[in-house]
Structure 1
Amino acid sequence: MNNPNLEKELYQELEAIKDNPKEIEERFYKDLEFGTGGLRGIIGAGTNRMNVYTVRKATMGLANYILKHGNEAMQKGVAIAFDSRKFSQNFAKEAARVLASNKIKVYLFKELQPTPLLSFAVRYLQAFAGIVITASHNPPEYNGYKVYNQDGNQITEEMAKEIYQEIQMIEKPLDVQLENFQSLLTEKWITYISEEVEQAYDRMVRSLLLNSDLIQRKGNDITIVYTPLHGTGNKPVRRILANVGFKNVFVVPEQEFPDPQFSTVKAPNPEEREVFTLAIQFAKEKNADIIMATDPDADRLGVLVRVGDEYQALNGNQLGALILYYLLQQKSQQGILPKNAAMVKTIVTSDLGEAIASKFSVVTENTLTGFKYIGEKIKEYQESGSHTFIFGYEESYGYLAGDFVRDKDAVQITVIVAEMALYYKQQGKSLFDVLEEIYQEFGYYMEDLVSITLKGIEGNQKIQKIVASFRDNPPKEIQGIRIKYIEDYKVGLKQDQITGETTKLTLPSSNVIKMVMEDQSWFTVRPSGTEPKIKLYFSVVTLTKEESQSKLKQLKATILEMANLK
C-alpha cells in the first residue's frame, strides 16, 4: 500500500481489507501459481489474485525466457488474444507493453477473439509464443493468462518450469517501468493482427467439411440456435456457418454480445444444463433441430438435440463419439481415411472412442488430461510420420478435427456438428438416434463426473487428503468386483492388483489415480489444475442402457462415500 505506483482501484481494495487478517492471508499467502495452464485466479488486489501486476510479472518472466533464446526469438515475437472478461483487453495491452518494452515484437488482436484463433495465429504468423487472456468457462470473478509455444500448443511442463523460474526472479512487479502503449504501436513494436489471419483460418475450417455439396443443396433444411454465452464465439461461428451455407442460424439475443458479468448465467459453462435455459425457449420458438453453445473463449462446445418436443444434452463423451464415428465413416466411404490414422483422447475420456476407432482400424492413443498433450501428439506424428492425426477429444467438451489449430476448437467443431446433424437428418435421424445405434453396436458406455469445489487453504488441504487416501489405501474391490489394476500417474506405475506385476507408465508425472475393475468399469481421482476442485470420473459398460445406468449410480455412490464426499 505504501508503493507510489500502486493503481488507485487496487489501493482502495486493500484499504477496505486492511483490518481483516483472514482476507489478507487469502490474497497474499502465496503467489498465483504459474504452470502449464498459465495463471488463473480471482480478479483483485494481492499476489494470489489476477491483476495488472501479476500479469506484468508473468509477462516479464516470459520476456526474459524469450530474451535468453536470442534475437531470432525476439523478432518472431508473441501473438496475443483476449476474451470478453473483465480487464481482459487491459491485461492483453499490459502484456504487450512488457514484451515490446523489452524489444520483443508483439502481434495483438484488436478485438476479442477465440482461443483457437490465437493458436492458429501463432502458427500462421510463425511467432515464437502466444498469450491468451481468458479464464475459459470460470465464473465472472475470474480471469487468467495462458501461454502457447511456437507450435500454437499450450506450454507443457518443461517450458512452464523454465518460464516459472524466470518469474520467480522478478522481485518488484510494482516497480516495472514500461513504455507508453501508443508509442510502442507507432514504433511498430506492437502491430495489430490483420483480417488475413481470420480469412486463412476460415478457409482451413471449410476444408474439414466432408459433405459441402450437401450443405449447398440442403443447408436450409436444418435450423440451428446458437449462443456464444456473452463470449468470443459470436462473430466467427456465425460468419463461418453462414459462409459454408447454413442460413437458418439464430443467435440467442440476450446472450449475443460480450458481457464480463455473464449476467444471464451463474457460470458460462456449456457443460451445465442451466446455461441453455434461454436457448431452449428460443429454440422452441424457432423449432430448431439443434442448439449449440460455446464458452467465453470458444474452445468448448455444448450441444442439445431436439427429441420430440424437448431438447436433450449430449455430454462430451457422447458428442466426441458421434463426431469420431461420423468422420471415420465418411472418410472410409470416400476412400480418404489414411492407413496410419490415429485418434487421441485423454485417460478420463470414455473408452467408446477406442471401440469406434478399432472398427475402422484407427489407432487410439491416450494422454493425460489437458488438450496440450493432444497437441503434443499431433506434433510428434508430423515429425515422425508414424501416424496421421484424425481427431482428438476430451470428455470436458473439447474437440479438434483439423490440426491447423493445436488446442481444442469449438469454432471448427460447430461447423462439423452442423454438417453431421444435416447429414443424418436427410436419413430421418437425430443425433440421439445415431448415438443409440452406436451403443447397440459397441455397448452402452456411460460416464459421469463429480466436480467438487473446495476453496482456500482448508479446501486445498482436503483435496490433497482425498487423493492421498486413494493412493495409500486403495480398495481391493468395489461391490464385489475386483480392482484389476491401478494406474498412479504421480509415480508413473501401473500395478496389476491380481498378479502383483508392475509396469511403467509412459505419460508425464501428474497427480492422478485411475482404478480399473475386472468388468471394464473404472474411476479416476484428480485435483483440477486450474480451479480449486477435486474431480472424480466414473465409467461403466454393459449390454443394456438400464444396466449401465444402475451400475454407474452404484459405482458413484460407493466411491463418493469412500472419499467422504457424499
Structure 2
Amino acid sequence: METIRFGTDGWRATLEEFTAPRVRMVGQAVATYLADEGLEGPVAVGYDARETSRGFAEELARVLCSNGFDVLLSERDRPTPLVASAIADRDLAGGLVITASHNPPEYNGVKFIPEDGAPALPAVTDAIAERLAEPDPLPESDHGTVREVDFAAPHADAALELVASITGGTDLSGLTVAYDAMHGSGRDTTDALLERAGATLERFRCDRDPEFGGGSPEPAAENLAALIETVTDDDSDADLGIANDGDADRLAVVTPDRGYLDENLFFAALYDYLLEDASGPAIRTVSTTYLIDRVAEAHGETVHEVPVGFKWVAEAMADHDALVGGEESGGFTVRGHVREKDGVLMALLAATMHADEPLDDRVDRLLETHGTVVQDKISVACPDSEKSRVLADLEGVIPETVAGTAVEDLNTADGFKLLLADGSWVLVRPSGTEPVLRVYAEAGDEKRVRELLEAGRELVEPLV
C-alpha cells in the first residue's frame, strides 16, 4: 500500500511497481469510497495507448463490477478528457483512467475523476488512499455489468457546439492542419474532430505504437521536429501544427513564423481572443506567465494564481466563474466545458482562432502591446523522499539577490517563487510526477532567463 502514492495527477510508476494486484487495490478503494459517499451510478473506465493499459482497465472494471457498480468501459484507448466529459454529461458516479500521460512507455498510471468531471482534490485522493485494500467482492447476484461504450462521438458533438458558441462557427474548410498524435490516444480523435470541422489534415505518428517510437509522448519542441519542419516550410501546405501528449489532455501549437509556440504565449492569445466577446477572470498556475495578467488588466479583468496542478485550476475556475484556466505545460479549458484540461477541445479552438486571424499576428500584437516575455524551465534530479527536506533547507537560504537583482517578494503557494525588482521571477518547486525539482524563470529576453535558471540551479543543487 505504501507504494501507491497519489501525486499531482494520480498515481504513476514504472511497471515494476505498477502491477495488477495494486491496480485492483485502487479499484477496491474507489469502489469503497463511492459506496461510502452514497454514489450509486455507473462508473466510467478509460485507458491510453500503452501496451498494458487495456488489461489494467479490465482489472478495474472487474473490481468495480464485483462491488455492485455498472461500468462503462471505453471501447478503445481514448483521451483522458473524453472520460471526464462523459462523467459529467452522463451523471456518472465517477471514473478511472489508466494512463501515464507523457511519461515514457515503461510507466503506467491511474487517476480517479469525481462525479463533476473535474480533477480530484487531495481530500478525495487521500480518502481513496485510506481505503486501499484487497478486492472484497459482493455475492455474484449483486454484481454490476460491464458495457463497452464510445466516448468520442458525444465529446466531439459537445466540442463543436461549444466552440461554435464562442467563435460563431467552426468552419475550418480551407485550413490545413498538420497533426501529431505522438502515437498516443489523440489519434482518430483530435484529427477526426478537426476533419469533421472541415480542415484538411496532414497526419504524423497517428498509428498506435505502445513504445511511442522509443521516446516519451511529450509534445515538447525537441520531440516535434518533423511537425515543426513541415509547418515552417515555405513550400508546405500546412497552415498550423497541433500535437497532443500521450493521453491528449494537453496540446502544443506550431505556427509558420514561430515554429513551436510557447504555451504561455498561446494562453495569452487564447485569453485575449476569448475576451473579444466575453468577460471573466483567468486562472493560471504559479509557474505560468505574468503576460496573462497584462492581458487581463488591459481588459479590466483579474487573474487568480494557484499552485501547479490542474486540480487547483479547476477548483478556482468554479470559485471565480472563470472564463479560462490554464498552465504553462499546455493544459487548458474554458467556461462551459468540463473543468479538466482538454487537448482535443483546445485543438479545435486553436484551429478556429487561427482561421479567424493567424496566431502569429495575434501574438505579435500582444507582445508589441505588453512587452516581450520569455520563460523556460530546467530540472534538478531529486529523489521523491528528499524533496520535502530540500525545500525546508531552501527556506533558510533564500538570497537577497538573484543574478544581480534584488528579491522584492516571496510567494510560497507552491515551492518558492522569488519575485525580482526588474519584474522577472524564479520558481523552485517539486515535480508531482517525476523525481526532480523544477526551476522556472521568466524575464524579458532569453539571455536573462538563462542567467536566472542557472542561478536557480546553483541555489538548489547543493541542497540535494
Among candidates 321, 330, 338, match of residue 397 of structure 1: 330
Q: What displacement does 1:453 show?
A: 4.1
Task: Provide the C-alpha distance between the structure 1 equivalents of 2:224 and 2:80, rounded to a whole number of angstroms.
Answer: 22
Q: What are the residue-to-residue correspondences of 1:376-525 with 2, within 5 Å?
A: 376-381=315-320, 387=321, 389-425=322-358, 431-454=359-382, 459-461=383-385, 463-489=387-413, 512-525=415-428
Task: Provide the C-alpha distance between the structure 2 equivalents of 1:394 and 1:84, rounded to a whole number of angstroms.
Answer: 24
Corresponding position: 1:262 with 2:212 = yes
Provide the residue aligned with 2:31 in structure 1. Answer: 63
Are 1:117 and 1:405, in contact at CA under 8 Å, matched by a contact in 2? no
Corresponding position: 1:250 with 2:202 = yes
The one-letter amino acid paired with 2:222 is E
Greater helix share, structure number: 1
Provide the residue aligned with 2:263 in structure 1. Answer: 316
Are 2:42 and 2:72, in contact at CA under 8 Å, matched by a contact in 1? yes
SS at match of 1:166: coil
Corresponding position: 1:279 with 2:227 = yes
RMSD: 2.5
Are 2:177 and 2:239, in contact at CA under 8 Å, matched by a contact in 1? yes
Among candidates 69, 73, 91, match of residue 108 of structure 1: 73
Report Cα offsets for 1:225-249 as digits up to 9, x if no partner. 1011111111221222122222x21
Provide the residue aligned with 1:368 in structure 2. Answer: 307
Give the total of aligned pairs: 460
Are 1:449 and 1:537, in contact at CA under 8 Å, matched by a contact in 2? yes
Task: Provide the C-alpha distance between the structure 1 equivalents of 2:408 and 2:72, rounded to a whole number of angstroms.
Answer: 51
Between 1 and 2, higher relative CO (CA 8 Å, sep ≥ 6) is seen in 2
Q: What displacement does 1:281 show?
A: 5.1
SS at match of 1:287: coil
Task: Provide the C-alpha distance between the structure 2 equivalents of 1:61 and 1:35, rounded to a whole number of angstroms.
Answer: 16
Task: Provide the C-alpha distance between the structure 2 equivalents of 1:289 and 1:540, rounded to a whole number of angstroms.
Answer: 30
SS at match of 2:326: strand
Task: Provide the C-alpha distance between the structure 2 equivalents of 1:188 and 1:56, rounded to a whole number of angstroms.
Answer: 16
Of structures 1 and 2, the larger Rg is shown by 1
Task: Provide the C-alpha distance between the structure 2 equivalents of 1:321 and 1:410, rounded to a whole number of angstroms.
Answer: 17
Task: Provide the C-alpha distance between the structure 1 equivalents of 2:57 and 2:323, rounded to a whole number of angstroms.
Answer: 33
Q: What displacement does 1:282 show?
A: 5.0
Report Cα offsets for 1:154-173 as digits up to 9, x if no partner. 11111111111111xx2xx4
Please list every run of 5 or more consecutive structure 1 residues that lacks an aligned counterpart in the other structure: 1-27, 332-336, 382-386, 426-430, 490-509, 542-547
Provide the residue aligned with 2:247 in structure 1. Answer: 297
Q: What displacement does 1:286 show?
A: 4.1
Q: What are the residue-to-residue correspondences of 1:326-345 with 2, within 5 Å?
A: 326-329=273-276, 331=277, 337-338=278-279, 341-345=280-284
SS at match of 2:325: strand
Worse-superposed segment, 398-407 or 130-139? 398-407
Task: Provide the C-alpha distance between the structure 1 equivalents of 2:49 and 2:295, rounded to a whole number of angstroms.
Answer: 37
Task: Provide the C-alpha distance between the structure 1 equivalents of 2:138 and 2:75, rounded to a whole number of angstroms.
Answer: 19
TM-score (norm 2): 0.92
Provide the residue aligned with 1:155 in structure 2. Answer: 120
Change (3 A) 1:287 1:201: closer
Are 2:255 and 2:261, in contact at CA under 8 Å, matched by a contact in 1? yes
Task: Provide the C-alpha distance between the structure 2 equivalents of 1:194 and 1:233, rounded to a whole number of angstroms.
Answer: 14
Corresponding position: 1:84 with 2:53 = no
Change (3 A) 1:432 1:453: farther
Are 2:79 and 2:248, in contact at CA under 8 Å, matched by a contact in 1? yes
Q: Percent identity?
A: 27
Q: What displacement does 1:483 show?
A: 1.1
Task: Provide the C-alpha distance between the structure 2 equivalents of 1:222 and 1:204, rounded to a whole number of angstroms.
Answer: 18
Task: Provide the C-alpha distance between the structure 1 equivalents of 2:228 and 2:155, rounded to a whole number of angstroms.
Answer: 33
Task: Provide the C-alpha distance between the structure 2 equivalents of 1:317 and 1:396, rounded to a whole number of angstroms.
Answer: 8
SS at match of 1:376: helix
Task: Provide the C-alpha distance between the structure 2 equivalents of 1:535 and 1:101, rounded to a whole number of angstroms.
Answer: 42
Corresponding position: 1:32 with 2:30 = no
Change (3 A) 1:79 1:419: same
Are 2:68 and 2:143, in contact at CA under 8 Å, matched by a contact in 1? no
Provide the residue aligned with 2:459 in structure 1. Answer: 562
Are 2:86 and 2:155, in contact at CA under 8 Å, matched by a contact in 1? no
Change (3 A) 1:282 1:179: farther
Q: What displacement does 1:392 show?
A: 0.9
Task: Provide the C-alpha distance between the structure 2 equivalents of 1:211 and 1:373, rounded to a whole number of angstroms.
Answer: 27
